[in-house]
């Protein structure tokens, strides 16, 4: 039977690349994002044979998340794979100067949003005794860097949630994969620098950064490993990066 994947943050970056990879390989997709027109555009770019269902919501809005997931049509209720890809970095500043709205956005989206979505989907996986959840963490969740305290904290929370999910859900046959990428060329830096394209571009200059499709390929590998295998935790860097703030640039 065709497997159903639920992807948050599907409108851009890793989420979008994952949707494309899954679509090319015949998965049915529930595509979630805040921007309806971007979801529509993605949908139209996928092969016609792929069945998709779009959900427009912000993961930070608990009521919306619950309402939309709970009212999925029956044919879309059996979710096999959840990819928690929604998340962002807002700002880059020392703790004494941090913008509290940025902090709220990161904690609410990267941590609470991921929890809201997961909580709404996991019970049906428990019932079926089957499922696979992929949480997008970051190397920022492995090692804190200056000026990134709250973003790093939010990703450390994702690491803890992945570990906890694995502890609680392994008995129900559910696999948890935590993926921690280094720098990936996406809208990430543009969001972090609040639309400053030049500053964002600099992050990816002088070396070959990871591309979103590299992460999508990795995710695809993890969901197609033999049933006996759980890829629990993967850190992925570009060839030029050795630590969150160490990138060898020419
Ligand atoms: C993205 C990677 O190193 O910019 O999460 O925080 S990093």
Non-local CB neighbours of 76 within 8 Å, separated by 6+ positions: 4, 28, 30, 53
30 touches 53 (CB < 8 A)? yes
Q: Which tens digits make up the pLDDT trace of 157-184?
A: 999 999 999 999 999 999 999 999 999 9
pLDDT cut 70: percent of the chain above it: 100
C-beta of residue 81 within 8 angstroms of C-beta of residue 23: no
pLDDT digits (tens, 9 = 90+) for 110-148: 999 999 999 999 999 999 999 999 999 999 999 999 999
Tokens of 151: 């973003």
| pLDDT above 90 for 46 | yes
Q: What is the pLDDT, as a whole number, of residue 105?
A: 97
Q: How many CB atoms lie within 10 A of CB 53?
A: 16
In the numeric block, the tokens 């490993």 are attached to 225
Is the model's pLDDT at 1 over the cut of 90? no
Give residue 37's pLDDT.
Answer: 97
Give distance in angstroms: CA of 84 to centre of ligand 1: 16
Task: Compute the Cα dihedral for 40, 82, 126, 137 and give only its sign.
Answer: negative
- Residue 85 has a pLDDT of 98
DSSP 56: E
Of 84, 137, 138, the residue with max ligand 1 atoms within 8 A of its CB, to mutate for a pocket test, comes to 138
Shortest-distance Cα residue to atom 6 of ligand 1: 140
- Catalytic site includes residue 151: yes
Q: What is the largest CA-CA distance in the chain?
A: 53
Question: Domains of the chain by range and CATH?
Answer: 4-241 (3.40.50.720)
> Would the pTM of this model clear 0.95, i.e. be above it?
yes
């Amino acid at each position: 039977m065709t497997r159903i994947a639920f992807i948050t943050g599907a409108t851009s970056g890793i989420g979008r690349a994952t949707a494309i990879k899954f679509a090319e390989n015949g998965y049915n997709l529930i595509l979630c994002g805040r921007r309806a027109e971007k979801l529509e555009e993605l949908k139209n770019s996928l092969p016609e044979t792929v069945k998709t269902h779009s959900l427009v919501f912000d993961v930070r809005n608990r009521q919306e998340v619950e309402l939309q997931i709970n009212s999925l049509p029956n044919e879309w209720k059996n979710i096999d794979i959840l990819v928690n890809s929604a998340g962002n970095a807002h700002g880059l500043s020392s703790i004494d100067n941090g913008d509290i709205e940025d902090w709220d956005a990161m904690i609410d989206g990267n941590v609470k949003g991921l929890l809201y979505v997961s909580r709404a989907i996991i019970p049906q996986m428990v019932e079926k005794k089957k499922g696979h959840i992929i949480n997008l963490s970051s190397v920022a969740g492995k090692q804190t860097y200056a000026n990134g305290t709250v973003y790093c904290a939010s990703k450390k929370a994702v690491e803890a949630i992945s570990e906890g999910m694995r502890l609680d859900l392994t008995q129900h046959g559910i696999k948890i994969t935590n993926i921690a990428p280094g720098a990936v060329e996406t809208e990430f830096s543009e969001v972090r620098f609040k639309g400053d394209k030049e500053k964002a571009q600099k992050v990816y200059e002088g070396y070959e950064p990871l591309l979103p499709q590299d992460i999508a390929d990795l995710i695809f590998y993890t969901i197609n490993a033999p049933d006996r295998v759980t890829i629990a935790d993967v850190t992925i860097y570009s060839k030029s990066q050795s630590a969150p703030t160490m990138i060898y640039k020419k």
